[in-house]
Amino acid sequence: MTITHEKLLREVENAANGIHDPCALARGMNIGVTDMGMIRHITLTSGEDCTWTVVMRIRLTAPACTYMPYFEKHISEAVLAIPEVSDFLIEWDGNFDWTPDNMSKSAKAMMAERQRRLEEQLAKHPLGPVLA
């Protein structure tokens, strides 16, 4: 049985979303690259042998990001683990136009909740008004 374009696209997005953005992790948030809005575009090309070639265009969240090798390794492994995918390539987007507006609703909600908790903790701190 062959997989449909739409189903494979969802599987590729889910596989990529299993790879968490290291900068978000450093802030205590497990947000995958799909929810971060880092994936600009995914191209799926079917082959004669019922396998697919996947090309993923990714934008980084900052021009000085040093995690390109991390993303290359882990996203490639995750996508190539999908049985129907035979080839995978990442194209790096050079526009550096990512903003938090590109994040999914769930990622934005996670970030807002984290901000709320931090503000709550800061308000309880003796120097809270001075630090704010």
Rounded Cα distance between 108 and 104, Å, is: 6
Check residues 39 and 126 and name the one with the higher pLDDT. Answer: 39
Rounded Cα distance between 119 and 132, Å, is: 9
pTM of the model: 0.87
- Main-chain phi, psi angles of 65, to 5 degrees: -60, 130
Give the range among 38-52, 99-113, 115-129 with minimum mean pLDDT.
115-129
pLDDT digits over 54-97, tens only? 999 999 999 888 999 999 999 999 999 999 999 999 999 999 89
Residues 48-58, mean pLDDT to the nearest whole number: 94
Where do the structural domains in the chain lie, given as residue ranges? 5-99
In sequence order, the 6+-apart residues with CB closer than 8 A to the CB of 98 are: 37, 38, 59, 60, 61, 62
Rounded Cα distance between 38 and 16, Å, is: 10
CATH superfamily of 5-99: Fe-S cluster assembly (FSCA) (3.30.300.130)
pLDDT higher than threshold 90 for residue 131 = no
pLDDT higher than threshold 60 for residue 124 = yes
